[in-house]
């Protein structure tokens, strides 16, 4: 049913819950998982380290994706990519390019006025995606 699952991550507990859920789905459906971190090109993230200009968001993305891929069980077909761009557009374009049948994303579970005033990436992906989007809420501690 879901041959390819895309899981955007930002390293948060909500994203970790989404990765864990995607791994369970992949195990049951024999799916491949693509974990993706989007370095938001709308934010200034260049810095200098050891005389070399680097993108701090891309560096963070490499670590976040590596940790997410490591969360998967052995035998799970999982890969990771760090991309740059507008998060919503980049996630949707990436999902289309890999032929994704499902996007699995974490949600902060905002309530009340915050939900209407603060448009989240997850909410925008849900509204604009041409494939199903499964939202996963992290367990409250």
Q: In the structure, what pLDDT confidence band is assigned to residue 141 with cuts at 50, 70 and 90?
A: low
Q: In the structure, what pLDDT confidence band is assigned to residue 54 with cuts at 50, 70 and 90?
A: very low
Encode pLDDT of 72-126 as tens digits. Answer: 877 789 999 999 889 999 999 999 999 999 999 998 755 555 555 445 889 899 9
Domain that holds residue 119: 4-137
CATH number of the domain to which 85 belongs: 3.40.50.620
What tokens does 106 get? 């974490």
What tokens does 19 get? 């990765």
Q: In the structure, what pLDDT confidence band is assigned to residue 46 with cuts at 50, 70 and 90?
A: very low
Distances from the Cα of 89 to the Cαs of 52, 121, 126, 128, in angstroms? 29, 10, 12, 9
Encode pLDDT of 10-22 as tens digits. Answer: 998 899 999 999 9
pTM: 0.84
Q: Structural domain tally of the chain?
A: 1
Q: In the structure, what pLDDT confidence band is assigned to residue 52 with cuts at 50, 70 and 90?
A: very low
Judged on CB neighbours under 10 Å (0-12, 13-18, 19+), 75 is exposed
């Amino acid at each position: 049913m879901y041959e390819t699952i895309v899981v955007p991550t930002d390293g948060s507990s909500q994203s970790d819950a989404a990765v864990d859920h995607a791994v369970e789905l992949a195990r049951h459906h024999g799916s491949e998982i693509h974990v993706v971190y989007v370095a938001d090109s709308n934010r200034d993230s260049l810095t200098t380290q050891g005389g070399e200009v680097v993108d701090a968001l891309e560096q963070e993305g490499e670590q976040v994706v590596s940790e997410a891929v490591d969360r998967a069980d052995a035998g799970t077909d999982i890969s990771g990519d760090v991309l740059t761009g507008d998060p919503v557009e980049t996630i949707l374009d990436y999902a289309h390019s890999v032929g994704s049948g499902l996007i699995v994303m974490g949600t902060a579970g905002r309530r009340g006025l915050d939900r209407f005033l603060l448009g989240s990436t997850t909410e925008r992906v849900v509204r604009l995606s041409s494939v199903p989007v499964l939202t996963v809420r992290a367990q409250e501690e």
